[in-house]
Chains A and B, each alone.
Chain A
Amino acid sequence: MRHFLIMTAFATLAAVVFGAVAKDSNHERVVYALKVFAEFMVIGLVLAWILYFIPY
């Protein structure tokens, strides 16, 4: 659970910064930040499952 929370914190912080520095309007920024957050979370979970089956 701790690892998931840390990953969530990381995704949130990165998404906030990426969203704030990108795009032109506030609406676009929010959408972009949410997209970045979702991408970090989904890719993190997918990688975790892939690595789970690798015994090294």
Chain B
Amino acid sequence: MSKANRERTDVDKAPARAWLMGTAAWLVPGLGHLLQGKWGRALLLGGAVWFCFIFGFMMGGHLFKYDASEQGVSALLQIPPMVGNLGTGLLYIVCWLMGFGFSHDIQQAALPTFEYGWTFLIVAGLLNYLSMLDAFDIAAGRKS
């Protein structure tokens, strides 16, 4: 069996629990590992993502969202960072529902750490995607 076929079979065999754990890990950083009794890893991974997210806001960062009111390429350019931000799951969704953290004023943009801020917010999401895949693999029995 080719490697691609083997991988496809592995994905097909992934139990519903693995998808559940993956979803939990995406929604709340660290929860996927916590539910599987991996306390240490939950603390490390969840802690890193939460810290990155909070630190990003503390440095004056902002979240991205698709804004149809912007014209052409400008609107499309919001999508890649938005996908990164979306990795933080509920943190992003709650901010979106509350309308918090998506805009920035001139004073905020003038902060020397402004660029670092939104970079940390994007990286928080990307790190949580890794954490989510790890939780999925553990639940599927591919990792210990």
Q: What residues of chain A lie closer than 8 Å to B123, measured between beta carbons?
A: 10, 13-14
- Let me know if A54 is at the binding interface, CB within 8 A: no
B112-131 interface with A by 8 A CB criterion? 112-113, 116, 120, 123, 127, 130-131
Contact among B113, B116, B120, B127 with A17 in the assembled complex (CB-CB below 8 Å): B127
A interface, how many residues as a size bin? 10 to 19
Residue interface mask A10-41, B partner, CB < 8 A = 1: 10011011101100100000000000000000
With A10-B123, A21-B134 as given contacts, are A16 and B48 in contact (CB-CB < 8 Å)?
yes
With A21-B130, A21-B134 as given contacts, are A13 and B112 in contact (CB-CB < 8 Å)?
no
Q: B residues within 8 Å of A by Cβ? A: 41, 44-45, 47-49, 51-52, 55, 59, 112-113, 116, 120, 123, 127, 130-131, 133-134, 144
A9 and B55 CA atoms in complex are apart in Å by 10
Least CB distance, B139 to chain A, in whole angstroms? 14
A38 and B131 CA atoms in complex are apart in Å by 21
Q: List 23 A-B contacts (CB under 8 A).
A: A6-B59, A9-B55, A10-B120, A13-B48, A13-B51, A13-B52, A13-B127, A14-B123, A14-B127, A16-B44, A16-B45, A16-B48, A17-B44, A17-B45, A17-B127, A17-B131, A20-B41, A20-B45, A20-B134, A21-B131, A21-B133, A21-B134, A24-B144
A2 and B55 CA atoms in complex are apart in Å by 14
Q: What residues of chain B lie closer than 8 Å to A10, measured between beta carbons?
A: 120, 123
Q: A residues within 8 Å of B by Cβ? A: 2, 6, 9-10, 13-14, 16-18, 20-21, 24
> Cβ of B44 and Cβ of A6 under 8 Å apart?
no
Q: What residues of chain A lie closer than 8 Å to B47, measured between beta carbons?
A: 16
A33 and B136 CA atoms in complex are apart in Å by 21
